[in-house]
């Protein structure tokens, strides 16, 4: 079963699909080992982890797809990848879709911001005109269909940031236009309250994704609450990174003062298990010379 088929099977279940945000092979492997059925690789976290810079269009297509190739290869669960604006015009979008599929992603998200884009929960967002946004999404769906004719597969998620720039009427209009273009999932970014969230749930057909960012613009709800509103997927894109940063800062502060609280650390043996040393040793033994 392809990664896209695995994700589609999860979408066909009655319950909401809960996904942690991942940013490298280690975080993705941890998500799988924790029992999650899928994960989301977001541009904010990858930009922070890989280049230490803000999610403002500074990280490139090549860096994102390379990061995705590594983390998709580390797990068996499907991963959704942030494709930003598609990194150019409609032709670039097609290449982005093809590249993300080749990297092993189950789904790629394409958005309607101007380039360079920025995080959906920060200031200064701008969106392209609806006609241009529709062409981006149409080219993404065309690329998906071409892949399927040649044995490949990937799902398409269309994101709009128009709520922040033009209001909910425009955001809902764009989501419906994206559905008409053939997308598999829509994502209306940053609704400001539950009234806006419920309008999205009621007025747009098909699977919809919620984005739960700590201290973000959208109410921070539970999976059950999100499912009741009408969401099919929910991501917590920076929760793992926020927790990891806090733990690393505390460890560094203690280390600088000569303190080492081992009770707050994973053991070295546990780390070896997480990254696959037992499997490596087994394979090494199997291929040992007689």
Q: How far is CA 56 from CA 84, 118, 138, 201, in A?
A: 10, 4, 24, 28
What are the respective helix, strand and coil percentages of the chain, to the nearest 5?
A: 50, 15, 35
Rounded (5°) CA angle 131-193-22: 75
* Mean pLDDT of the 242-246 span: 97
Determine how many CB atoms are found less than 10 A away from the CB of residue 170. 15
| 121 pLDDT higher than 90 | no
132 pLDDT band (50/70/90 cuts)?
very high
Domain CATH for 199: 3.20.20.60
* Mean pLDDT of the 17-39 span: 98
**What pLDDT, on the 0 to 100 scale, is given for residue 122?**
66
Indicate the burial class of 53 (C-beta count within 10 angstroms; 0-12, 13-18, 19 or more).
exposed
**What pLDDT, on the 0 to 100 scale, is given for residue 57?**
87
The per-residue pLDDT for range 70-89, each reduced to its tens digit, is 999 999 999 999 999 999 99
What does pTM read for this prediction? 0.95
**What pLDDT, on the 0 to 100 scale, is given for residue 290?**
67
* Mean pLDDT of the 92-116 span: 96
Domain containing 48 equals 3-246
| 269 pLDDT higher than 90 | yes
Q: How far is CA 107 from CA 11, 15, 175, in A?
A: 12, 19, 17
Flag whether 220 is in a domain.
Answer: yes
**What pLDDT, on the 0 to 100 scale, is given for residue 120?**
62
The C-alpha atoms of residue 176 and residue 154 are separated, in whole angstroms, by: 21
**What pLDDT, on the 0 to 100 scale, is given for residue 108?**
98
Flag whether 164 is in a domain.
Answer: yes
**What pLDDT, on the 0 to 100 scale, is given for residue 207?**
98
Flag whether 251 is in a domain.
Answer: no
Flag whether 263 is in a domain.
Answer: no
Flag whether 193 is in a domain.
Answer: yes
The per-residue pLDDT for range 41-57, each reduced to its tens digit, is 999 999 999 999 998 88
- 264 sits in which H/E element: none
Angle 25-33/239-256 helices, nearest 10 degrees? 110
The C-alpha atoms of residue 72 and residue 41 are separated, in whole angstroms, by: 10
Backbone angles phi, psi at 143, to 5 degrees: -65, -40
The per-residue pLDDT for range 152-206, each reduced to its tens digit, is 999 999 999 999 999 999 999 999 999 999 999 999 999 999 999 999 999 999 9
* Mean pLDDT of the 232-243 span: 97
| 123 pLDDT higher than 90 | no
| 116 pLDDT higher than 80 | no
Q: Of 154, 209, 211, which is closest to residue 185 (Cα–Cα)?
A: 209
* Mean pLDDT of the 263-286 span: 95
Flag whether 223 is in a domain.
Answer: yes
Looking at every residue in the chain, the average pLDDT score rounds to 95
Q: Of 223, 42, 27, 221, which is closest to residue 121 (Cα–Cα)?
A: 42
Taking the alpha carbons at both ends of the chain, their separation in whole angstroms is 36
Flag whether 257 is in a domain.
Answer: no
The C-alpha atoms of residue 164 and residue 182 are separated, in whole angstroms, by: 24
Flag whether 116 is in a domain.
Answer: yes
Residues with Cβ < 8 Å from 114, sequence gap 6 or more?
Answer: 85, 126, 127, 128
Domain count of the chain? Answer: 1
| 277 pLDDT higher than 90 | yes
* Mean pLDDT of the 93-98 span: 98
């Amino acid at each position: 079963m392809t990664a896209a088929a695995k994700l589609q099977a999860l979408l066909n279940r009655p319950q909401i699909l809960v996904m942690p945000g991942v940013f490298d092979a280690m975080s993705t492997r941890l998500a799988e080992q924790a029992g999650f059925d899928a994960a989301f690789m977001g541009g904010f976290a990858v930009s922070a982890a890989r280049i230490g810079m803000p999610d403002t269009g500074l990280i490139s297509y090549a860096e994102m797809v390379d990061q995705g190739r590594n983390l998709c290869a580390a797990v068996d669960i499907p991963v959704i990848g942030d494709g930003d604006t598609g990194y150019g015009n409609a032709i670039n979008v097609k290449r982005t879709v093809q590249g993300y599929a080749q990297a092993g992603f189950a789904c790629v998200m394409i958005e309607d911001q101007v380039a360079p884009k920025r995080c959906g929960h920060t200031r200064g967002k701008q969106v392209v005109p609806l006609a241009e946004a529709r062409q981006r999404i149409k080219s993404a769906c065309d690329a998906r269909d071409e892949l399927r004719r040649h044995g490949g597969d990937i799902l398409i998620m269309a994101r709009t940031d128009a709520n922040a720039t033009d209001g909910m009427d425009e955001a809902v209009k764009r989501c419906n236009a994206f559905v008409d273009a053939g997308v598999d999932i829509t994502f209306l970014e940053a609704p400001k309250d539950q009234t806006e969230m419920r309008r999205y749930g009621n007025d747009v057909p098909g699977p919809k994704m919620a984005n739960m960012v700590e201290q973000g613009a959208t109410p921070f709800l539970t999976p059950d609450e999100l499912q009741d509103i009408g969401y099919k997927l929910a991501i917590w894109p920076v929760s793992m990174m926020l927790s990891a940063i806090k733990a690393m800062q505390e460890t560094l502060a203690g280390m600088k003062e000569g303190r080492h609280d081992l009770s707050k650390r994973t053991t070295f043996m546990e780390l070896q298990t997480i990254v696959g040393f037992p499997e490596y040793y087994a394979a090494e033994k199997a291929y040992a010379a007689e």
